Each structure stands twice: as structure tokens, then as C-alpha cells.
């Protein structure tokens, strides 16, 4: 069954004020188009969850969409800190931002508990760290079998996850390659899943290489075809990370007025991702094109 | 020989790595150090990145640990859950590079907050995978500029444990491993049997007085204090021509 829709409709149907939202991806395949649509639709009081909140969360926070950030590393990867996140955390501008903080492993384990219908997940993490003192959802537990101990984290089950992949069929079976991050686990832990892809493909293409499938249609509610939907992040094999944009953001975001102007121009000022891409221009996109490098095909065999 | 402090730091860090080590690499100088080591004395070094790429062989300097050049040509890419679970927690990695805003006398690292947690003076990015790296790799290495602000006697917040309150303290928590060296722009520091940082080698032209002035406690110097060996020509050539030609992470001598 086709679940194909526009990002406008997926966000308007899938995201409500007050929701917990997980825009998944580890540097790779960050759902910027979805984040911008959430800003355009002026969603409010969101709990933004992600291991690595980066620019898109800084933009959501600057636009006043967030009341809380649940995270493990909040920064501009390879560049520095997130100015809007810091303004909110340090000075309550534009709104106070509640923080719920983990380590990477802690947050991923919490999602795993959510995805697996478990009351908690155990991990050897947080040992010797001050973090557990500041998060009630992290607790030390003794082993039931010997005198060892671990930490436990409570499940995280986002209301909505937006995940991106390179290609999917219209029902939401998706192929992803390159860095996978927490995409699958965030999708499985969430109630509603919006899947946004670079390319639509046939079910036959998916079935030709089932090991590459990151999520299946059972767990997907909306499928959006949004080429370049991850810019300035990247899609392995389709375009590279626009590092200039990440470096520029450090400048822009350090000044509240410049952030407003940027949002006016690049988010409120365009109707959708297609207009954003047109505005970026051909030259910039061509500069981000990698050379081709195909994986060697595998023989799945046609068995009778 | 003509070289800069940042080049010396990269080379000194590279020399801490052994052939056959598997190393959780960081971005910037750690990435350069691992690549220098791999192309000189440690060809079998296995480079793993926090983003889950194993055996990366980047064609250009990655700007972030999730850079596509780390994925292309890797031997494997693991989802985050697997990487942290099977690689780090299970103890499969020998070395990890860590950094932070503050490093204290016991090698504890703060990358979370300056000031009070609930009313921060400066909110820093947080742990990411650093706490798990500090807990689980065999030895951790740090590369950082030497300044009193960065080296307080005690960090404001322990994000990633070093020797906590001493070697025994770390053991009592069930942790093995621990910090091995802190490479600064003045010295190479190591940790004594109490788990306290001391100066093992001074860089050429650096003095004890400078190191003490930039350290927030009375730091001890090794009885057999060494001078950090200078970079070799081949190491400098690798950095300047192959690994960091655009000087993203090193200032390079004329």
C-alpha cells in the first residue's frame, strides 16, 4: 500500500504540539527538510530527542519550537558548539530549555529498551561519571547473579521519529548504506515514523538486496520523496556534507538577529524542499557530488 | 629542523600507538596522529570511529567523525548500538583519544559544563561516546593545549573518568585501563602509581617554569625527565603533503 505523501502533510498529520520528536541520523542523512517543515508549521513545546543534536536542532530551538532537549552530544560536528542551544541552556533565550542528558551508549540503550518493549536496558556506562546524579532515568543496578553491577536506563519511546534513507518503495521498505547511526532503533522505538528518501524504487529493488533494508513498511507511516532532504548533511553516494554551511552556521547562529534573518530566508521564505534546493542552486549541488563508486554486486541466487 | 608545536604534538601522539592496536580515533590531531602511525611504524593499526566505521582509510582529512570519507572503503560499518555494545563495552578496543575543556590531576575529563550543572557558565557539548571510551579502552590518550584554565586541580564535572580519585578508586569501580599520556604543546605528561599526572618529557625549548605556570596544581617532574624527540622528516612530509595539506588541524612551518 502506498504511503507516499508530501513532507507538509506528513508533518501536519504526524507531529503535534508537545510531542517528543526524534530526527535520526549520525552526521549522515539528517532530516533537515523535516526539521524545516516543523519550523514552518510553527510546532511548539516539542521534546527534541537525538544522540547528536546538530544544526537542525539548533534551528528548531532558535525558532522557538522546543521545550526540552534529550541528547548525548550537542555540537556542530567538527566545528564547535551550537549557539542557539547554548543561549537556551545558559540564558533561556528564546525559551527555557530543559535538558535530559546521556552518553551515546546510554541514549542508544534507552531507545533499544523502547524498541524492545523492555522496562529498562542495562549497560556498562556512566561508571565514574557525574552524569547519573543529574538524570533520574539513569540508575545503578546490582547483578542478580553475582556482585557485579551495571547502570540501567529507562526506555525512550518518541511520539514521532523522522528517518531518512537513500531509497525506499512507496510502502516504506527502505535501503540505507553508509553510516547507519541509530536510524533503525529510533524508528522501531517511535510510535509514528516518517520516512524520507532521496529516491523511490520498486519493491523488486528492495527484495533484490534484503540485507540492505534498514526498516520495513510495517513500521513506517508516511513515505516522503524529498531529494536533497538532508542538505547540508549528506547522503552517502548522492551528495557530500556541505561543510561550508556548517562553518557558516557557527557565525550566523552566534547572533539572534542573523538567525532570524536566516530562518526568514531559508525556512519561512521557501515553501518546501524543492524551493530550498532551487535556491541553493545548481553550482553548489554539483560541488557536493562525489565520484561514482559502486559496491560489488552480491549473488543472492535464484532458488527453485 | 623546522617544525611547529602542533606538528610535534601529532608526531608525539603517533608514537604512543603500537602496531596491531585498534584505536578509537577522534577528529583533528588524533586522526592525523593515527594516520601518521599507520603510514610509519604501525601499518596494521585498526582505525575505528565513534560513528561505527571500522578500518576506515580516509582519502582526505575528515571534518567530523561521521564524514563520508570514513565510510567509503571501510572494512565494516556497524550501527551505533553494535559499535558501543560489541566493540567498546566488550573491550575490543586498545586505545582511545579523548579531549575536553578541562582535564584534572587524575586525568578526569570535563566536556559537559563549566560552572554549576543546573546554572551553567558555559554549556559544553557533553559526553557523546567519551565516557564509554574512557571506561572501556585499554589506554586513553589526550592531545590538548597546555593552559591553567584547561588543567584545574579538579574538574567542574566528571564527564569521562580518568583515575577518578586515584588508581585504587578506578579499580574499585571495576574499571581497568585509564589515561596513559596527555600530550600538550609544552610536554608529554603521564600518570604515576597514585594515578596523578606528572611531566615525563619536556618539548624542545619548553621549560619547567612554563609548564608549572600553565598547570593548576603543583605538578611533579620525572626524575629522569626527558626531552620529546623532534619529528622526523618523513613524518613532517606525511603531515604537510598527504594528511593535512590545507592546514586544517596543524600550523605548518614555512
Shortest CA gap B147–chain A (Å): 19
The interface predicted TM-score (ipTM) is: 0.95
pTM for the full model? Answer: 0.96
- Interchain contact, B135 vs A128, CB within 8 Å: yes
| Helix or strand run (H / E) with residue A223 | strand A222-225
Say yes or no for a CB contact (<8 Å) between B63 and A185.
Answer: no
Residues of B whose CB is below 8 A from A148: 174
**CA gap A271, A274 in Å, rounded:** 8
Q: Which of B217, B42, B57, B162 is nearest to A127 (CA)?
A: B162
Cα–Cα dist B151/B145, whole Å = 10
Cβ B89–A125 below 8 Å, yes or no? yes
Q: What is the mean pLDDT of chain B?
A: 95
Tell me the per-residue pLDDT of A20-33, one tens digit each, with 9 for 90 and over: 999 999 999 999 99
For residue range A115-139, list pLDDT tens digits in order.
999 999 999 999 999 999 999 999 9
Which one of A105, A246, A253, A294 makes the best mutation probe of the B interface by having the most chain B beta carbons within 10 Å?
A: A105
Chain B residue with Cα closest to A125: B132
Contacts of A246 in chain B (CB under 8 A): 63
Asked if A155 contacts A120 with a C-beta cutoff of 8 angstroms, the reply is yes
Taking every pair of Cα atoms in chain B, the longest distance, rounded to a whole number of angstroms, is 50
Sequence-distant (≥ 6) Cβ neighbours of residue B168 within 8 angstroms: B195
**Which portions of chain A are predicted below pLDDT 70?**
none
Q: Which residue of B has its CA nearest to A290?
A: B68
Cβ-defined contact of B80 to A131 (cutoff 8 Å): no
Of all residues in chain A, the one with the smallest CA distance to B163 is A128
pLDDT in tens, A69-102: 999 999 998 888 999 999 999 999 999 999 999 9
Peptide bond into A232 cis (omega under 30): yes
In chain B, the percentage of residues whose pLDDT exceeds 70 is 99
Average model confidence (pLDDT) for chain A? 97
Which of A101, A130, A149 is opposite residue B158, by nearest beta carbon?
A130
The model's confidence at residue B254, banded by pLDDT at 50, 70 and 90, is: low
Residues of B with catalytic annotation? 50
Amino acid at each position: 500500500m502506498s504511503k507516499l505523501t508530501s513532507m507538509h502533510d506528513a508533518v501536519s498529520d504526524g507531529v503535534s504540539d508537545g510531542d517528543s520528536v526524534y530526527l535520526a541520523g549520525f552526521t549522515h542523512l539528517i532530516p533537515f527538510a523535516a526539521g524545516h517543515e516543523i519550523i514552518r508549521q510553527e510546532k511548539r513545546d516539542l521534546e527534541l530527542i537525538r544522540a547528536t543534536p546538530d544544526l537542525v536542532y539548533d534551528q528548531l530551538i532558535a525558532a522557538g519550537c522546543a521545550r526540552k532537549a534529550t541528547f548525548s552530544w550537542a555540537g556542530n560536528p567538527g566545528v564547535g558548539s551550537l549557539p542557539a542551544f547554548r543561549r537556551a541552556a545558559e540564558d533561556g533565550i528564546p525559551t527555557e530549555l530543559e535538558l535530559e542528558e546521556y552518553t551515546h551508549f546510554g541514549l542508544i540503550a534507552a531507545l533499544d529498551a523502547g524498541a524492545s518493549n523492555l522496562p529498562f536496558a542495562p549497560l556498562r556506562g556512566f561508571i565514574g561519571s557525574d552524569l547519573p546524579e543529574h538524570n533520574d532515568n539513569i540508575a545503578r543496578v546490582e547483578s542478580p547473579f553475582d556482585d557485579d553491577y551495571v547502570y540501567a536506563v529507562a526506555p525512550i519511546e518518541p511520539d514521532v521519529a523522522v528517518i531518512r534513507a537513500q531509497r525506499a518503495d512507496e510502502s516504506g521498505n527502505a535501503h540505507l548504506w553508509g553510516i547507519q547511526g541509530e536510524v533503525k532503533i529510533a524508528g522501531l522505538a517511535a510510535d509514528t515514523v516518517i520516512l524520507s528518501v532521496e529516491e523511490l524504487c520498486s519493491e523488486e529493488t528492495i527484495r533484490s538486496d534484503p540485507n540492505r533494508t534498514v526498516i520495513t513498511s510495517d513500521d513506517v507511516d508516511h513515505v516522503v520523496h524529498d531529494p536533497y532532504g538532508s542538505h547540508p548533511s549528506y547522503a552517502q553516494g548522492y551528495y557530500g556534507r556541505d561543510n561550508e554551511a556548517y562553518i557558516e552556521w557557527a557565525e550566523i547562529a552566534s547572533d539572534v538577529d542573523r538567525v532570524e534573518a536566516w530562518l526568514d530566508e531559508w525556512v519561512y521564505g521557501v515553501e518546501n524542499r524543492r524551493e530550498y534546493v532551487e535556491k541553493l542552486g545548481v553550482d553548489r549541488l554539483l560541488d557536493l557530488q562525489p565520484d561514482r563508486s559502486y559496491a560489488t554486486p552480491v549473488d543472492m541466487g535464484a532458488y527453485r | 629542523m623546522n617544525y611547529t608545536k602542533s606538528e610535534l604534538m601529532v608526531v608525539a601522539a603517533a608514537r604512543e600507538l603500537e602496531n596491531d592496536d585498534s584505536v578509537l580515533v577522534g577528529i583533528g590531531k588524533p586522526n592525523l596522529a593515527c594516520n601518521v602511525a599507520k603510514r610509519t611504524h604501525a601499518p596494521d593499526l585498526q582505525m575505528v570511529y565513534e560513528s561505527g566505521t571500522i578500518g576506515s582509510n580516509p582519502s582526505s582529512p575528515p571534518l567530523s567523525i561521521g564524514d563520508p570519507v570514513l565510510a567509503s572503503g571501510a572494512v565494516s560499518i556497524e550501527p551505533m548500538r553494535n559499535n558501543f555494545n560489541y566493540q567498546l563495552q566488550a573491550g575490543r578496543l586498545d586505545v582511545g583519544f579523548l579531549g575536553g575543556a578541562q582535564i584534572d590531576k587524575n586525568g578526569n575529563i570535563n566536556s559537559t559544563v563549566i560552572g554549576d550543572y543546573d546554572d551553567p557558565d558555559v554549556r559544553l557539548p557533553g559526553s557523546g561516546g567519551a565516557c564509554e571510551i574512557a571506561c572501556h579502552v585499554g589506554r586513553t590518550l589526550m592531545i590538548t593545549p597546555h593552559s591553567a584554565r584547561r588543567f584545574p586541580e579538579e574538574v567542574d564535572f566528571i564527564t569521562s573518568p580518568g583515575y577518578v580519585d586515584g588508581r585504587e578508586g578506578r579499580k574499585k569501580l571495576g574499571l581497568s585501563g585509564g589515561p596513559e599520556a596527555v600530550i600538550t604543546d609544552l610536554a608529554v605528561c603521564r600518570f604515576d602509581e597514585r594515578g596523578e599526572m606528572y611531566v615525563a618529557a619536556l618539548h624542545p625549548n619548553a621549560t619547567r617554569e612554563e609548564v608549572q605556570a600553565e598547570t593548576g596544581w603543583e605538578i611533579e617532574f620525572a626524575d629522569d625527565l626527558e626531552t620529546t624527540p623532534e619529528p622526523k622528516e618523513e613524518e613532517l612530509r606525511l603531515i604537510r603533503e598527504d594528511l593535512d595539506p590545507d592546514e586544517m588541524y596543524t600550523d605548518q612551518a614555512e
